[in-house]
Homo-oligomer: A and B are copies of this chain.
Amino acid sequence: MDRKSQQRPLRADAERTVRAILEAAERVLSANPAATMEQIAEAAGVARTTVHRRFTSREALVDALTAWATRQFHEAVTSAHPDSAPPLVALYQATANVLRVKIGWGFAMSRTAPQDPEVARAHADVLDQCHRLFQRALDAGVLRPGTDLAWARRVYYALIHEAAQNRSDDADDVDELATLVVDTLLRGMGQPGSVLGPR
C-alpha cells in the first residue's frame, strides 16, 4: 500500500481500514466512476469521516489507488522478462500477468497517468517495454513485416481490456483468456483460405 499518504506508521486496525477503503473504492468506482465518498465509505463498512481521515481528499484516494495498481501493472509486465524471453513466450506471460491484475483493478488501471512522477515513469517504462517486445517480435518474424507497431500496441491493449471484461475469479480462466488474446492478436478471426485472408 502507498506509504506516501500516511506520514506516520499506522496501527494494525488502521492499516486494515485503509485496505478496506481502497478495495471498496475499486469496487464502487469501477461500477460508477462518479460515485461519492459516502458510497465508498459505505462499501468499505466505515464512516465517511474515516475515509477523509485516511485520505486528505478524493483525489488523494484515487491517486493512491492508481499508484497501487500501477505498481502491480509494472511488476506484471517486468516479470514476464519482455526483453530477454522469446517474444511469444514473453507476450503470453505478460498478457496473463496483466490480466490477473486488471481483473479486479479495472478502474484503477483505466486511469491515465496522473501528475505523480513515479506513476508516470512506471507507465512510460511499461510502454517502452511493450514497444521493445513488439519490435523483437517483428524481428523474430512473429509479427508480419510492415506491421505498424503503434497500431499493434493499441490493438493489444484493447484486446486485453475486452478480455478482462469476461471477469471471473477462476485462475485457469486467465490462461484461457491470455491464449484468446494472443491468438486473436496474431491470427485474427478470418479463414486463411478466404479472400482477405493471409496471402
Contacts and interface: CB of A to CB of B under 8 A. Distances in A.
A158 B141 CA distance: 26
Interface residues of A, number: 36
A186 B193 contact: no
Given A158-B161, A180-B151, A182-B196, A188 B187 contact: yes
A72 to B, nearest CB: 23
Contacts of A190: 142-144, 185-187
Contacts of A144: 187, 189-192
Number of copies: 2
A186 to B, nearest CB: 3
B189 A185 contact: yes
Interface in A161-194: 161-162, 165, 180, 182-194
Given A154-B162, A159-B158, A194 B186 contact: yes
A154 to B, nearest CB: 5
A197 interface: yes
A117 interface: no
B186 A189 contact: yes
Interface string A145-162: 101000110110011011
A2 to B, nearest CB: 25
27 contacts: A88-B196, A141-B191, A142-B190, A142-B194, A143-B189, A143-B190, A143-B191, A144-B187, A144-B192, A145-B191, A147-B189, A151-B162, A151-B184, A154-B165, A155-B162, A158-B159, A184-B188, A185-B190, A186-B188, A186-B194, A187-B187, A187-B190, A187-B196, A188-B188, A192-B199, A197-B198, A198-B198
